Structure 1
Amino acid sequence: MLTEIHPKLPMRSKALTRNYYINKLGFHEFGNIDHPGYLMLKKDHIQIHFFEFKTLDPKENYGQIYIRTEHIDELYQQCLDNGVDIHPNGPLQIKPWGQKEFALLDPDHNLITFGQTMS
């Protein structure tokens, strides 16, 4: 019966998070009401919500999401073209479990992993 999931991740700065996801990753703002301390972003069929956590220490943040995608090579190249820093342990590669993946850390160190099934 489940139909969708919209993960909620912490953010220290709404403006910084908005800028990163829109200008670097190609998301757009979702909804027509600006909620203080809350941000909803969308790209294709994916929504990510963010809640304000001003005292968050990015080095202690363990927020993570895994996003399945198609055309991962194109997405990876778009990230590189937009100056997105790829996680040092997360360059594009085929994993032993059959997924082609890459990962990045957003400004608050939320780990965002993209994966495509290779079978």
Structure 2
Amino acid sequence: MFESVAPIVPVRDLDAALARYRRLGFATRAYDGPQRYGFVDRDSVSLHLTEWAGHDPLTTAASVYLYVTDADAVHASWRSEVEGRLGDPQDTPWGLREFAYVDPDGTLHRVGSPLT
């Protein structure tokens, strides 16, 4: 039985990335060890962050899809908090209300909720 998943996202600066996710409403913590690694959690969503000196947002970026109950509410709460590019919510032909956010590390976050 699969119970959960936690994508590992490359970042250039772990401390900056943890602060960014904290502003977006995630609980954050750095790994207590020699590796530059961190954890971000919000409700049942978990992401792991790995600081990678060779990370290039143009060639080694990641993508995650976050299913939420209300994409418009998440968008409104993120609007003043994000660094990077934040798209407007749109209704999709596949039955979701969604928007895209690309952070300074190049990670694409697609955020969507079911259309009612």
Which of 105, 113, 116 matches 1:108? 105
Partner of 1:37: 36
CA contact (8 A) 2:18 2:29 kept: no
Give per-residue Cα distances to partners, 1:36-85, cap 9 Å, x unaligned.
31111111111100112112111113310101000221111001132454
TM-score (norm 2): 0.88
Q: Does 1:26 find its partner at 2:15?
A: no
TM-score (norm 1): 0.86
Any runs of at least 4 consecutive aligned residues in structure 1 with deviations exceeding 3 A, and if so which? 83-87
Alignment of 1:1-119 (within 5 A): 1-23=1-23, 25-30=24-29, 33-35=31-33, 36-87=35-86, 90-119=87-116
CA contact (8 A) 2:84 2:104 kept: no
Unaligned runs of 5+ in 1: none
The share of aligned pairs that are identical, in percent, is 26
> Residue type matched to 1:22 in 2?
R
Give the number of the structure whose residues are more often helix, by fraction.
1
Unaligned runs of 5+ in 2: none
RMSD across aligned positions (CA): 1.8
Distance 2:66 2:92 in 1: 15
